[in-house]
């Protein structure tokens, strides 16, 4: 595996596969927001807490760093009140590692969790 600016290159005898960092970030973001206790991703670290997203498919709130030793992913999210932030953080780490490794074949070394705030639970939509 080699890393180039903005994408990961996986090279084998058949050729190469280039995966943009944004693709990895979207996969990680989708896995993170699916975990109970995650209100949404924190879109702009250092900005107002009102800038969050619970939409799947966004890569905001996720930072990817790839080098020859593997991949480091930073997840910035808003926690829901009523859940253990430690337990939810551990579940987010597991979910992100599983989703990214399964979808891309990348070796994930570290998933750093950054809890940027708390919010009331998501309201359930009527059936």
Residues 18-77 pLDDT 10s: 899 999 999 999 999 999 999 999 976 455 444 444 444 456 799 998 877 778 999 999
Query: Which domain covers residue 74, as residue numbers?
Result: 21-119
- Is 110 part of any domain? yes
Q: In the chain, how long is the greatest CA-to-CA distance?
A: 53
Q: Give me the CATH number covering residue 48.
A: 3.30.70.1350
Element (H, E) at 25: helix 21-33
- Is 14 part of any domain? no
User: In 3-state terms, what secondary structure has residue 72?
Assistant: strand
- Is 12 part of any domain? no
Cα–Cα distance for residue pair 107/100, rounded to 1 Å: 9
- Is 112 part of any domain? yes
Number of domains in the chain: 1
pLDDT band at 116 (very low <50, low <70, confident <90, very high): very high
H helix intervals, 16-122: 21-33, 85-104
- Is 96 part of any domain? yes
* Residue 27 neighbours by CB distance under 10 Å: 23
Per residue in 75-90, pLDDT (tens digit) is: 999 999 999 999 999 9
């Amino acid at each position: 595996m080699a890393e180039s600016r903005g994408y990961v290159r996986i090279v084998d005898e058949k050729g190469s596969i280039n995966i943009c960092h944004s693709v990895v970030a979207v996969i990680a973001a989708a896995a993170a927001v699916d975990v109970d206790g995650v209100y949404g991703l924190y879109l702009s670290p250092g900005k107002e807490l009102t800038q969050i997203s619970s939409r799947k498919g966004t890569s905001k709130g996720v930072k990817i760093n790839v080098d020859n030793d593997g991949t480091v992913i930073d997840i910035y999210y808003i926690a829901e009140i009523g859940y253990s932030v430690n337990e939810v953080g551990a579940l987010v780490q597991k979910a992100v590692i599983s989703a990214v490794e399964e979808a891309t074949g990348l070796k994930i070394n570290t998933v750093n969790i950054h809890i940027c705030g708390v919010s009331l639970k998501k309201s359930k939509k009527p059936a």
